[in-house]
Structure 1
Amino acid sequence: MSKPKSRNGKKNLIGPQLKALRARDDISQRDLAVQLQLLGLNVEKDVITRIETNKRYVNDFEIQIIAKYFKVSYQYLIDGEECL
């Protein structure tokens, strides 16, 4: 059974938000990977690239750690908007 994709063929919903958050905080993909590793997420720079370009699926626990690092809600990462 194949993994689901969005209508436009993207493999995740958080790519644009992740890229925007990195720009906001002026952090490179490599440095972000290091910081996420310190929080227990085993990722490398190329994983960040693949998430941002929607070429990699993202698990719920990965979303949780990314949201924790950037101090944003899960909803922001998924929908691009904060909870009311």
Structure 2
Amino acid sequence: MKISYNSQPQRNLIGNQIFKLRKSRKLSQKEMAAQLQVQGYYFSELTILRIEKGKRLVTDIELKILCDYFRITPNDLLGYGDGGRLV
């Protein structure tokens, strides 16, 4: 099955949000990956890098895992404001 997305080089909306959240917690990609792995999820340093750079799509399960990890809502991670609009 082919996944449709626009022709932009960025493939996800959350990469920049993940980067900001990780940096605000003073975590390296390696530290974040290790913490997720301790919780039983396979996220490598490379996986986090590719998500942050917009080079990798994020599944719905991964979206939930990342929201739980950062203790935020999917709307926060997707960049939606209070009014439900993308900001």
Q: Which TM-score applies when normalising by structure 1?
A: 0.85
Which segments of 5 or more consecutive residues in structure 2 lack a partner in the other structure? Answer: none
What is the match of residue 43 of structure 2?
43
Supply the AA of the counterpart residue of 1:18. Answer: I
Deviation beyond 4 Å, 4+ runs, structure 1: none
* Aligned residues: CA RMSD: 2.0
Residue pairs, 1:5-20, within 5 angstroms: 5-6=5-6, 8-20=8-20
> How many residue pairs align between the two structures?
84
Residue pairs, 1:1-84, within 5 angstroms: 1-6=1-6, 8-81=8-81
Overall identity of the aligned pairs, in %: 33
User: Residue by residue, what CA displacement relative to the aligned partner does 1:28-81 show, whole Å, maximum 9, x if unpaired?
Assistant: 000000111122221110110000001111011111111111111111111254
For the 8 Å contact 1:4–1:11, the answer to whether it is kept is no
